[in-house]
Amino acid sequence: RVLVAPDKFKATLSAGEVVTTIALELQAAGHLVDGLPLADGGDGTIDVVLDHGFEGRETPTVDGHGRPRTGVIAWRGDEAIVEMAQACGLATVIDLVPDPWRASSLGLGLAARAALDAGASSVTLALGGSASIDGGVGLLEGLGFTVLDRRGRQVTPDLAGLVKVHAIESREVGGVWRVLVDVSNPLVGAQGAVRVFGPQKGLPPRDLPRVSAAMCRWASLLERVFAIEIVSTSGGGAAGGVAAAARAALGASIESGAEYVAGLTRLRERVHAAEVVVTGEGAFDHQSFGGKAPGLVIDIAREIGRPVYVVAGVSGLAEGEWRSRGVAGVITCSDLAGSSQAARREPGFWLRAAAAQLAERLTPSS
């Protein structure tokens, strides 16, 4: 009995597609498969929660560059979940040249505001897969906060606006708030939102000092206005600082997205029921153990005493590194295809090849 519990292969295959592909090869080899698509607050979180007791409802919002789009809010009673990746994340602006100065979290704020207006008393913001490093200025403006420059004019809801921020006019929002994160980075510092995530969003090295200084000023302003310490809060740098803004302005708790999904899907029980566990993601590396779903699966399997295998697009870990984590084997599409570029061109084909190789390893020879 094999539990197949991967995250998505980002920008190529959804977690559900990964489960289906691996399951077909394992079943063809005679194995019983329990398929469980996972997420950790990033892309695909809405898809997972909709399979576990939530109902999806569409809402108008804007993408990561402010273009109108239709978002989806997941509902269970008066509890709402909004996924940033789906509303205004990197996937929504993949057709555009990266522009970190214009990218915004506004769409997340608008969708969250719609959830409140529709009667939500509890709102969860799933923050992985973001396109922006605006410190959460867009989120707050979408929720109705007024963020001003030195001349008393409202700033734009993006990084260009963040560097001009001078004041915040607070307002009462209401509701119980939670943010789900897949990283533990603080808002500022060497491991903060700008230094770590800025380059990933296209911010050139020459702009890092200026933007880092602006983020420090923003952090101080949040602390002063809302009387809360957020500079060193673990996870505050998630989604380019959105987590810190939500913690300060909304009183949101910052929680592990992987742990939340694990509880919702009864992941530990299903690992217990399996004889072998398979997980995976597009890039298996050191970050996988810093709040990502596959890292949690591996830790749970090791704790319970189940062998765990990883099927990934590419691996950045040496064999000694993943073996020290308790992983029994790693199979990558890039190794089979000859390069990561070749694997990305035909992700479904090479994932099937990787799954077939896994099936061979798990099937006793006659």
Q: How confident is the model at residue 11 (pLDDT cuts 50, 70, 90)?
A: confident
Helix axis angle, 347-362 relative to 15-28, nearest 10°? 40
Q: Quick check: 310 and 280 in contact, CB under 8 A?
A: yes
- H helices of the chain, in order, are 15-28, 45-50, 84-88, 106-117, 137-142, 159-162, 208-226, 238-250, 257-265, 267-273, 293-304, 319-324, 333-337, 340-345, 347-362
The Cα 213–Cα 194 span in angstroms is 10
Q: pLDDT tens, 276-320? A: 999 999 999 999 999 999 999 999 999 999 999 999 999 999 999
The Cα 170–Cα 147 span in angstroms is 9
Return mean pLDDT, the chain. 97
Q: Quick check: 229 and 223 in contact, CB under 8 A?
A: yes
Q: What is the mean pLDDT of residues 215-221?
A: 98
CB atoms within 10 A of CB 47: 19
Rounded to the nearest 5 degrees, what angle is found at the Cα of 193, between the Cα atoms of 94 and 167? Answer: 100
Residue carrying the six token digits 């060497």: 190
In this prediction, residue 25 carries a pLDDT of: 97
Instruction: Estimate to the nearest angstrom the gap between the alpha carbon of 230 and the chain centroid.
Output: 21
pLDDT over 90 at 175, yes or no: yes
Residue carrying the six token digits 């489960």: 19
Q: pLDDT tens, 177-204? A: 999 999 999 999 999 999 999 999 999 9
Q: Quick check: 241 and 179 in contact, CB under 8 A?
A: no
pLDDT-above-70 percentage for the chain: 99
Q: pLDDT tens, 319-342? A: 999 999 999 999 999 999 999 999
The Cα 267–Cα 133 span in angstroms is 32
Residues near 47 by beta carbon (within 8 Å), at least 6 away in sequence: 14, 15, 16, 37, 39
In this prediction, residue 124 carries a pLDDT of: 98
The Cα 147–Cα 286 span in angstroms is 37
Looking at residue 153, the DSSP 8-state letter turns out to be P
- The 308-315 sheet, strands edge to edge: 33-35, 2-4, 276-284, 308-315, 327-332
Max distance between CA atoms of the chain, in angstroms, equals 79
Task: Detail the DSSP E strand segments found in 77-232.
Answer: 79-83, 122-126, 146-148, 167-169, 176-181
pLDDT-above-90 percentage for the chain: 98
The Cα 111–Cα 93 span in angstroms is 17
In this prediction, residue 74 carries a pLDDT of: 98
pTM reported for the whole predicted model: 0.95
Q: pLDDT tens, 51-83? A: 999 999 999 999 999 999 999 999 999 999 999
In this prediction, residue 365 carries a pLDDT of: 63
Tell me which H or E stretch contains 314.
strand 308-315
Q: How confident is the model at residue 18 (pLDDT cuts 50, 70, 90)?
A: very high
The Cα 63–Cα 106 span in angstroms is 8
CB atoms within 10 A of CB 57: 14
Q: Quick check: 104 and 158 in contact, CB under 8 A?
A: yes
